[in-house]
Chain A
Amino acid sequence: MAYQQHLLTGTGIGLRQPHVEHFLQGTPAAGWLEVHSENYLQEKSKRRHQLRHIRNHYAISCHGIGLSLGSSDPLSQTHIKSLKALFNDIEPSLISEHLSWSSLNGRFYNDLLPLPYTHESLNHMITQVGQAQDLLGRQILIENPSSYLAFKQADMSEPELLNQLSQHSGCKLLLDLNNIFVSCSNMNTDPYDYLASINWHQVGEIHLAGHTLKQLPQGTIRIDTHNNPVCEEVWGMVTTYKDTLKHIPCLIEWDADIPSLDVLMAEAKKAQHYLGIAHD
């Protein structure tokens, strides 16, 4: 099934509640905006009404955390229906979800939980992503998760699984460079090996965010908290891959300890600088 895709360009920011008023009152110079789909599901909510207004001025990407595509549970038809209504209402340029699971036997854990990278998981994800795309009538981008552990049961690496998933399901990839750095640091692997393994033709969006360092007796573990500026190591990855990345829509995510809009916009400009993209 072929899906129409409207491409985003430049650097976007995650639209979070403390900044909404700025976008209702004016048009700050963000390239595009990304929202968390689950915060906008209620049709008669203020948030949905505000998003309809903002949609008139900005391209929107809807980033989901609730589809639980990797769960052995079947897809929630109720959730798909709510998402479809949202997408039909807002007409986002992109929609995305995660390579993870969040629910089991009907219970949701409100977190992105890790999958074993086995043939079974790959086949399951291909089926689930395919079903979701068919039901939504749109192509989905799948994001690599942050990991703190890896399962012994593994038939392939994470980038291999993502490449195969996009090839066989028709989805695109959302590559979060901070997640790659966090996972690789915690697993003691090389993020540049990860980047070298990715099929970049399938990457439709980039995420950049900050994380937190937690000191444990054995060393420092990196936790994906989205409450800090992008770290130098991740900017280094951006610089190394800038010729590839500058053609892909790039987003600054900041979800906790949210700073002023000026700080967030400055981070977006920094991304454009590292990518070698001219900005106003």
Chain B
Amino acid sequence: MTKDLNLAQLQTYFANQLVPKKPASLAELDPLSDLLVDSHFTPTQVFNIYRNNFLISLSDMLEQIFPITQVLVGYDYFAHISRDFVHSVPLKQPHLNDYGSIFVSFLRQLKALEKMQFVGQMAELEWHLDYISHIYYKPDFDFKSLAKISEEHLLNIQFRLSDTCHLQTSKLDLIALHKDLSRAQKLSKSTTITAVTYQQQSYILGLQNHLGEAALMPLDQRHWTWLIGLQNGLTLAQLCDLENTDLNLLIAQIKDWIALGCIDGFSINSSSSSITNANLLKPKEYL
């Protein structure tokens, strides 16, 4: 190793030592001594400080975002996969805002967790709860404009789901599992989870509650279908075409979702197909 490296070469060499493909041995780090001023500490010792800073800062962030996933897979295994993730998946931005979502994809692709899809699902849920909890949101639905919509356009309304809403489904009762693991985590208790206990199809709404905190709400299948429809931009007319949908019930539910802050706006889509309903009421009477 020559000591006359240009800046790019030196940084490339440094970075390669920072993220070794396998655990670095003393022999691997030895060439670094050609680059460094002699000190009473070895190159390995000082270099490990940089390696630890890099690894620990990102692993700590994952532990903060995914506390329940950590309990679910066990602290040691979580530490192991975090380390693998930090080393193998580059952070592509100078902030950590999106790194957690990439971790969810990483977990889903792990062979070792292939038969435990609920781990990836729990991580996805935690990621969205964390995201929701950081959004500044003051519900301010424009009831006045809604009241001005004429009867002929009523069914062309597209209600908009707020960014603070997350919809997820699972073959397990993820909310119950999340609750039980949260309790175990708070009490620092080890817990044995039997997937069978939680085997129940679940439909989940994650949202920001009136205190600004992320909260979980179980949905029935009909409400889930409506919310997915809203998320996909369906108009009231198109939602009414869905099975088991009564316009009055739908509008009553939309009113509840507006009150919860799940729906934050609307628009009129006059190009969509609409159904006719002789008993239409004016929107202000519903909302």
Residues of A within 8 A of B (CB): 38-39, 41-42, 44-49, 65-68, 71-72, 76, 78-79, 101-111, 113, 115-116, 118, 120-121, 124, 148-154, 186-188, 216, 218-219, 221, 223
Residue from B4, B7, B47, B49 within 8 A of A72 (CB atoms): B7
Give CA–CA (A113, B57) in the complex, Å. 14
Instruction: Decide: A107 near B41, CB < 8 A? Known: A48-B136, A223-B49.
Output: no
Contact of B136 with A49 in the complex, beta carbons under 8 Å: yes
Give CA–CA (A79, B91) in the complex, Å. 14
Give CA–CA (A187, B46) in the complex, Å. 11
Give, as a whole number of angstroms, the nearest-CB distance from B158 to chain A: 22
Give 6 nearest A-B pairs by CB, closest first: A66-B94, A72-B8, A107-B90, A49-B136, A150-B37, A148-B46
B25 at the interface (CB under 8 A from A): no
Residue from A44, A66, A111, A187 within 8 A of B53 (CB atoms): A111
Residue from B15, B18, B45, B136 within 8 A of A44 (CB atoms): B136
**CB interface residues, B 120-157, toward A, < 8 Å:** 133-136
Contact of A151 with B36 in the complex, beta carbons under 8 Å: yes
Residue from A38, A45, A109, A149 within 8 A of B18 (CB atoms): A109
B14 at the interface (CB under 8 A from A): yes
Contact of A76 with B10 in the complex, beta carbons under 8 Å: no
Give, as a whole number of angstroms, the nearest-CB distance from B2 to chain A: 10
Contact of A108 with B37 in the complex, beta carbons under 8 Å: no
Give CA–CA (A188, B38) in the complex, Å. 11
Give CA–CA (A261, B91) in the complex, Å. 33
Q: How many B residues face the partner with a CB closer than 8 A?
A: 44
If A103-B94, A108-B90 are given as contacts, then 20 extra A-B residue pairs at C-beta distance below 8 Å, sorted by A number, are: A41-B95, A42-B97, A46-B212, A47-B134, A105-B12, A109-B15, A109-B91, A110-B91, A113-B18, A121-B7, A150-B36, A150-B37, A151-B10, A152-B3, A152-B35, A154-B37, A186-B39, A187-B39, A218-B42, A219-B41
Contact of B37 with A111 in the complex, beta carbons under 8 Å: no
B136 (CB) vs chain A CBs: closest residue: A49
**CB interface residues, B 61-113, toward A, < 8 Å:** 90-97
Which chain B residues lie closer than 8 Å to A67 at the CB level? 94
Contact of A45 with B134 in the complex, beta carbons under 8 Å: yes
Contact of A151 with B92 in the complex, beta carbons under 8 Å: no
Which chain A residues lie closer than 8 Å to B11 at the CB level? 71-72, 101, 104, 113
Which chain A residues lie closer than 8 Å to B212 at the CB level? 46
Type the 1/0 row for B4-38, where 1 means its CB is closer than 8 Å to any CB of A.
11111011101100100000000000000011110
Residue from B6, B39, B134 within 8 A of A42 (CB atoms): B134
Contact of B49 with A153 in the complex, beta carbons under 8 Å: no
Give CA–CA (A241, B18) in the complex, Å. 37
Contact of B49 with A46 in the complex, beta carbons under 8 Å: no
Residue from A103, A105, A108, A188 within 8 A of B39 (CB atoms): A188
Give, as a whole number of angstroms, the nearest-CB distance from B186 to chain A: 19
Contact of A149 with B40 in the complex, beta carbons under 8 Å: no
Give, as a whole number of angstroms, the nearest-CB distance from A232 to chain B: 23
Contact of B7 with A120 in the complex, beta carbons under 8 Å: yes
Residue from A46, A65, A71, A187 within 8 A of B37 (CB atoms): A187
Give, as a whole number of angstroms, the nearest-CB distance from B84 to chain A: 16
Residue from A102, A108, A149 within 8 A of B36 (CB atoms): A149
Which chain B residues lie closer than 8 Å to A150 at the CB level? 36-37, 39
Give CA–CA (A103, B12) in the complex, Å. 10
What are 10 sample pairs from A and B whose C-beta atoms fall under 8 A apart? Answer: A45-B135, A46-B134, A108-B90, A108-B93, A148-B50, A151-B10, A152-B36, A186-B41, A219-B41, A221-B49
Give CA–CA (A221, B52) in the complex, Å. 14
Which chain B residues lie closer than 8 Å to A41 at the CB level? 95, 97
Which chain B residues lie closer than 8 Å to A102 at the CB level? 94
Contact of A106 with B39 in the complex, beta carbons under 8 Å: no
B97 (CB) vs chain A CBs: closest residue: A42
B177 at the interface (CB under 8 A from A): no
Which chain A residues lie closer than 8 Å to B206 at the CB level? none
Contact of B134 with A113 in the complex, beta carbons under 8 Å: no
Give CA–CA (A49, B212) in the complex, Å. 13
Which chain A residues lie closer than 8 Å to B14 at the CB level? 113
Give CA–CA (A154, B10) in the complex, Å. 13
Give, as a whole number of angstroms, the nearest-CB distance from B135 to chain A: 6
Give, as a whole number of angstroms, the nearest-CB distance from B272 to chain A: 29
A103 (CB) vs chain B CBs: closest residue: B94
Give CA–CA (A48, B45) in the complex, Å. 39
Which chain B residues lie closer than 8 Å to A45 at the CB level? 134-136
Contact of B46 with A149 in the complex, beta carbons under 8 Å: yes
B6 (CB) vs chain A CBs: closest residue: A120
B261 at the interface (CB under 8 A from A): no
Give CA–CA (A148, B135) in the complex, Å. 38
Which chain A residues lie closer than 8 Å to B93 at the CB level? 76, 78-79, 108
Contact of B41 with A221 in the complex, beta carbons under 8 Å: yes
Contact of B136 with A46 in the complex, beta carbons under 8 Å: yes
Give, as a whole number of angstroms, the nearest-CB distance from A57 to chain B: 19
